[in-house]
A and B are shown apart, each in its own frame.
Chain A
Amino acid sequence: MTPGPDSARRTGRTNKQKGNSVPLHQPDVASDPGPIIDVVDLHKQFGQQTVLDGVSFSAHVGDVISLIGASGSGKSTLLRCLNMLEVPNRGSVRISGEEIALKTNHKGVSVPADARQVDRIRTRLGMVFQNFNLWPHMTVLENLIEVPVRVLRQSRAEAIEHAEALLEKVGLANKHHCYPSFLSGGQQQRVAIARALATRPSVMLFDEPTSALDPELVGEVLKVIRDLAQDGCTMVLVTHEMAFARDVSSQVMFLHKGRIEEAGSPEQIFVSPNSERCRQFVNAQHSRS
């Protein structure tokens, strides 16, 4: 089930930008808006275990795609294949039209053909992890300017200015000189989101950004992600927060055993799924919360 380029683009998404404030994320304005992410027939095995079994999908500017599915269905693996944290055994990944070149090494394992290309493309994909993964030996501000200064070669002043604006946006302007271990989980995750935004990526990738948080801290992180979505930021989001997924997504994909079992608008997936498995999963999640 590969959703075509125009299927299920959400129409009703409110792009209300809050008056005088600058958007968190400037959407790409390309003259030819081809897909930002274009994945074709992705296969991934870990040893004997097949984790991705032929996944294809694409994401366009402004899409918010939620990945849902049972534990072990391959959601994280799919997300991690997009930036080559996991290298697929077969299939192709294109980011903004550029295909990530893969080759087979002497051991017969699939690896990136050009590490520099992967590093370059990764700066266009902002990733946010379940466990935040901030660098504890750097202050919040240093975490944010590290990649812009060291990898993108921005001037320190420029990077700091952008970083301060991002911290303002995630509500942590007063924490710029704090070390991460002094922040709550919710604050750390908001810093991690700002850090991922600091390279001005074309897409944000979230892997269960609220799963490691105490329940009372989930809301502040979801609010930041929602603001991003409303600013038109393109994102792929792995989540167990069904209500949130239903609310912000332009498209929802239900993964089962390494395949996209069903994909469509949130209404379709959550109200009237075609797949029996999808229906069961959604109902089970619903009754859980």
Chain B
Amino acid sequence: MHFEWTATYGHILLTGLLTTIELLLFSGFFGFLLALLVGFGRLSKQPLIAWLSLSFTNLIRGTPLLVQIYVLYYGVGSLFVGFPAVRDSFLWPYLREGFWYVVVALTLSVGGYVGEVIKGGLRGVPKGELEAARALGMSRFLMIRRIWLPRAIQILLPSLAGESVGLLKSTALASTVAVMDVLGAANLVRAQTFRTYEPLLLIAVTYLVLALLIEHVFRRLELRIPVRGAL
């Protein structure tokens, strides 16, 4: 095993790490917001909203994430090239980059998977707690914001930790559309140094550390509200 190449390529790997973390945070944040819409949409009494949410979930969960990324990057992305208005706009530098296509694809993916998780969590909150909120004078919106959603998230924290680690691992697909994330950087190192195992070993450890970090953060969140019977 030789690691002397890290001196030369260290900054590329660090930039890759930063990119991976950005992918994770952006798609985690926007994906969670989308998942809230999908989760409430699935429980909506309006047939159209319920149907739309279910169709979206089925579409996202029924197709491979890699295919979704390709469709967005090669399909939608190449459509943009045909529009001079888009090409001349200030957004173009971003639209050329694979990064934002991956963020969008991951956001949709989180929306679909976590949306379903959120739906389950919302259902799992005892109805009486919501009824008490309404009975004491809370508006429906306040009840959702102060009771229903926080309770659902409290119930779901262990699942959300798992979904977040899953998202972390999904970010590795970004390298397939030339994004220099951790894996992209490792691939570059491999190509230029002809070293196969060391870069891969290094990034495997990197992902592992990130995953443990995510688990730790969620564990801390869980412990903020003590529950009898839990350790």
Contact = CB atoms under 8 A, between A and B. Distances in A.
Please determine whether chains A and B interact with each other in the same assembly. Answer: yes
B11 to A, nearest CB: 44
Given A129-B132, A137-B154, A179 B138 contact: no
Contacts, number: 77
5 closest residue pairs by CB, A with B? A123-B137, A133-B132, A133-B128, A122-B137, A127-B135
B133 A123 contact: no
Interface string B114-140: 000000000000101101111111111
Interface in B63-97: none
B151 A146 contact: no
A129 B137 contact: no
B129 to A, nearest CB: 5
Given A119-B139, A129-B132, A146-B146, 13 more contacts: A85-B131, A85-B135, A116-B139, A125-B135, A127-B136, A135-B129, A136-B154, A136-B227, A137-B225, A147-B138, A150-B138, A152-B137, A179-B228
Q: Which range holds the interface residue count of chain A?
A: 20 to 34
Contacts of A150: 138, 142, 146
A192 B154 CA distance: 21
Interface of B: 126, 128-129, 131-140, 142, 146-147, 150-151, 154, 225-229
Contacts of A151: 136-139, 142
A288 B68 CA distance: 67
A101 interface: no
A115 interface: yes
A116 B133 CA distance: 14
A120 interface: yes
Contacts of B154: 136-137
Contacts of B142: 150-151
A237 interface: no
A130 to B, nearest CB: 9
Contacts of A152: 137
B188 to A, nearest CB: 46
B208 to A, nearest CB: 32
A137 B151 contact: yes
A91 to B, nearest CB: 20
Contacts of A199: 136-137
A205 to B, nearest CB: 8
Given A85-B135, A123-B136, A126-B136, A131 B128 contact: yes
A123 B142 CA distance: 14
Contacts of B229: 181
